[in-house]
A and B are shown apart, each in its own frame.
Chain A
Amino acid sequence: MKHIFVTGITGVLGSALGPVLLQSPQHVLHVLIRAEDHEHAQMRLQDLWSFWGDEVSESMRSRIHVYCGDAARPQFGLDAETYHSLLSTITHIIHSAASVKLDMDESEALEKVYKPSKTVLDFAMQIHESGRLQKLEYISTLGVAGKMSGSIPETVLPARDFHNNYERTKARSEVEALELYKQKKLPVTIHRPSMIIGHSKTGKIVHFQGFYFLCSLFTGYRTKGLLPKLPQLSFDLIPCDYVAQAVYLSLESGNETAGHIFHLCSGPDLSLPYHDLVKYLRFYHTHYAEKLPHTILVPPSLFLCSIRMMALFSWKPKFKRAAKNIALYFNHIKTIQMFENTQTIAFLETRGLALDHPENYLRAVLDYHRFKVRNDMPN
């Protein structure tokens, strides 16, 4: 039996990982759910059950143990007895909980990103010292590359600047995890996913984050056809099932992958250029016989300026919020990066996991979003 402790099960990656891990009857999941009380935890669980639907059967669910707590608090906010029983049961850990807000201040980032990872590393070390820990899968992000431009290698990165506190704290936690591997032989693998999108076959995803927001922006609907001219930019997208499978394969490979850094991304060859994405969105919308506004490409600064003006005169709070987010994303876009993934692909391909072309699954991904948004929207 493998007793796997999972944080962030209700997140984008965690919710894709759950069904993959539960496929094997040898796996028992111990999931930590951030909740104020039992009722709140139940509510979050119910949402997860309904998202999983038939994919996770009743008997599979019976192999999940739920702990109501908070990764940011010491001992996950659990009572001493529960914490100690976990210490004596757990054999594997997957840490994927973190806030992905880009505009956190330093203290918020410390609370929501750094502290959870610190608690998990402490927890892992205690089990490791008792000789029971077989593996820790540590989910980082390619955002740790910060303002480093050009090719980003699958190794420890040199000193660099960051765009925001999210990236900074993520990078700091990652370094600490790797230090523990070097000094104390903690069996940890670092996973750096790029922009995670829906399932490659069904488009299924639990929350719509960054990419979906950008897609709705690049259709030009909201901006009356006004779009920024960004010839250099391309998007590195990765479907959630690929990331989930990769983490699972790494977990199964045990010590063999300890100390490795995996770039779970499309890589330079399969990244989607910005102008292609814009055209692809037009191509996609013709399938539904929808006409998009005629595009006018303007320099990014002029685009941002116009968006701010539009937001100023708009009475829709949603648009005002969107305008703020656009500014945050634009901060990132200035850095041109290419994420290397040669070693990662080589490892995963030997295990039977191949990387698909983004345009092969983009339609399923956009369809799922389209259906969800339309179905959940009141008429």
Chain B
Amino acid sequence: MTSLDRRQITQTFPVWFNALVREQGPQDLFFEKIGESWQGTSLNAVHDLVQARANALVSAGLKKGNIVALIAPNSLNWDITHHACLMVGAVVLGADHHAPNDYQNAILEDSHADFIITDNIQRLENLTFSQKILTFEDLKNAAATPAISFEVCEQDPAILTYTSGTTGKPKGIIYTQQQLILALDALHDHYTEAQDIPPEERTMACWLPLSNLFQRMLNLFALDHGFQIYYCPDPLKFMDLLPEIRPAVLVGVPRLFEKIADTALRRMKFFPQFMKTFALRHLIGPAIKKKLGGRIRILASGSAKMPSHVLDVFEMAGLTLYELYGMSENIIPLAGNNRSCHRKGSVGKAMKYNEIIVQDNGEIAVRSPGLGRRYSKNQTLNGFKKDAFLKTNDFGRMDQDGFLYVEGRIDNVIKTSTGLRILCDDLEEKLLAIPDVEQALVVGSERKLLTAILVSHANDRKIAQALNEYNRNLPSRYQICGALVSDIVFSPMNGLATPNLKLKRNQINEYFSQKIDDLYSDIESHIRKNKHISSPIIRKVS
């Protein structure tokens, strides 16, 4: 049975997993570092361990449909417990043990998890909860037989995940057993190149926290293709382990690749201009490959936009970096580049099952069977309408060949009265580069000209000078004609920023609304008098 057949006839995790074991059982697919060496465990052995863990959980009182919160660093035990829960129809909630206590408390409270499972009870010291706690140690001594089994159906809930909470309270999303298998199918279809990797080279690191659903999906995808999974409990030490793991597939976040590219660029400084391309391709490129273990075939990155210079460095070094795009509300990644269709700067084409559109205001929306339902313990699952498009909150566009480009958050797009859409991220980033400007916000929605609110202690003359310099290289419609300079820092305390210090655009605009109106009328009267603005108009506010 090929891996594709396996997914077509199975729509639940237990059936999928049992079929996988029958096929690839004797292979050592799970590796953990014990002391100085990596110790492998076969899929057969893991299957027995999963069965034993399921028995132990049921003896501890777990029932079908219960929610199990897992709080632990990456380990084989994590995956065994995860698989065991899915085998008996329980719902897994991965909680990041590095996350702030407030966040962990919020999701434990909202989810009403029935059990908390951890590797070390001390991790839970600062959390407040009333659930039953189990450690991996408690669940160790159970027999694999007789296997206790519950009937698990396609529509049974399987995964509970929480949004990161940047836009407010973290929201729970729940996925079914069937959606999990659909997501595996979509990944399989999109990344056929994984099958071309010789079996002996199929290795992958499990280094992003397993509390992150994407890493768990990757582990299942890896098993599907007979990859060896190497567990790295500490993401910070991951780079040191690469020469030992020698992965064929490396999936990371932009920061990881940025670090590698920056090191490469630093070394490039020693080469004269005309030799740079040569050096990158023939000297630095091989060094990067070596650093990544020497067997790398697929590099992929998700979660945030990759700076274009990083893509350039990897491309010139002979390694293609595929950008992926996903969202918490859809278990199937929305889009991804792959070997057969790849366009730099884009996040690739929509994956199987997803239908992506860009609405007239530039917002990306998706319709997919992978969309989860909104979770709420006390209500019937309300969630996303089955056939409706879900707005992603991202601003982007799609080219004629269906490649999707994500440019920023829709909240950061303002439309001027002439109909020009301004992506404030780009401009604010430039404003923040002005020395002494601590925070910056572009203003100009439904107005003809742009202004800014800056937080700075510098004097007016200095700010005007800096803004002049800033305007010099920008098209006129992107230029800042005036600024309100505030000496109050926008913070969560005054309600003008989120806890992770993102500015609250609407609240700030409202707070300064009168001052903004005054500034615009000053600008207009200045234009009436002088026909144009020679230097931005600065007004101090407090």
Contacts and interface: CB of A to CB of B under 8 A. Distances in A.
Chains A and B are bound partners:
yes
B279 interface: no
B345 A288 contact: yes
Contact of A199 (B308, B309, B400): B400
Interface string B357-400: 01000000000000000000000000000000000000001111
B18 interface: no
Interface in A273-287: 273, 275-277, 279-280, 282-283, 287
B473 A279 contact: yes
Interface string A357-379: 10110011001100100000000
A289 B308 CA distance: 6
A283 B399 contact: no
A269 B474 contact: no
Interface in B283-310: 307-309
B477 interface: yes
B475 A204 contact: no
A359 B399 contact: no
Interface residues of B, number: 23
B421 interface: yes
Interface string B390-430: 00000001111100010000000000001111000000000
Contacts of A203: 399-400
A356 interface: yes
Given A201-B358, A289-B309, A371-B343, A364 B475 contact: no
Contacts of B398: 201-202
Contacts of B23: none
Given A289-B308, A289-B312, A356 B419 contact: yes
A367 B399 contact: yes
A110 interface: no
Contacts of B397: 201, 363-364
B141 interface: no
A269 B418 contact: yes
Nearest to A295: B473
Given A357-B420, A360-B419, A364-B399, A283 B312 contact: no
B343 to A, nearest CB: 7
Nearest to B309: A289
B473 A360 contact: no
Contact of B477 (A199, A276, A367): A276
Contacts of A273: 476
Given A357-B418, A360-B421, A287 B399 contact: no
Contacts of A364: 397, 399
Contacts of A355: 419
Nearest to A359: B420
B478 A283 contact: yes
A371 B474 CA distance: 24
A270 interface: yes
A360 B475 CA distance: 13
Contacts of A288: 308, 312, 345
B188 to A, nearest CB: 24
User: Which of B400, B421, B477, B478 lies at the interface centre, i.e. has the most chain A CB atoms within 10 A of its CB?
Assistant: B400
Nearest to A364: B397
Given A279-B475, A289-B309, A204 B419 contact: no
Contact of A276 (B400, B418, B475): B475
Contacts of B475: 276-277, 279-280, 283, 359
Contacts of B478: 283
A368 B419 contact: no
Given A269-B418, A371-B343, A282 B399 contact: no
Given A280-B475, A287-B345, A202 B400 contact: yes
B261 to A, nearest CB: 11
Nearest to A360: B421
Nearest to B477: A359
Contacts of B309: 289
B540 to A, nearest CB: 29
B527 to A, nearest CB: 16
Interface in A92-143: none
A202 B418 contact: no
Given A288-B345, A357-B419, A282 B400 contact: no
Contacts of B421: 357, 360
Contacts of B400: 53, 199, 202-204, 368
Contacts of A202: 398-400
Contacts of A371: 343, 399
A201 B358 CA distance: 9
A241 to B, nearest CB: 11
A270 B399 contact: no
Contacts of B401: 53
A279 B345 CA distance: 21
Interface of A: 53, 199, 201-204, 269-270, 273, 275-277, 279-280, 282-283, 287-289, 355-357, 359-360, 363-364, 367-368, 371
19 contacts: A199-B400, A202-B398, A202-B400, A276-B475, A276-B477, A279-B474, A283-B478, A289-B308, A289-B309, A289-B312, A357-B418, A359-B475, A360-B419, A360-B420, A360-B421, A364-B399, A367-B399, A367-B405, A368-B400
For the complex of A and B, the 9 pairs showing the least CB-CB separation, nearest first, are A202-B400, A276-B475, A289-B309, A204-B400, A357-B420, A357-B419, A279-B475, A280-B475, A289-B308
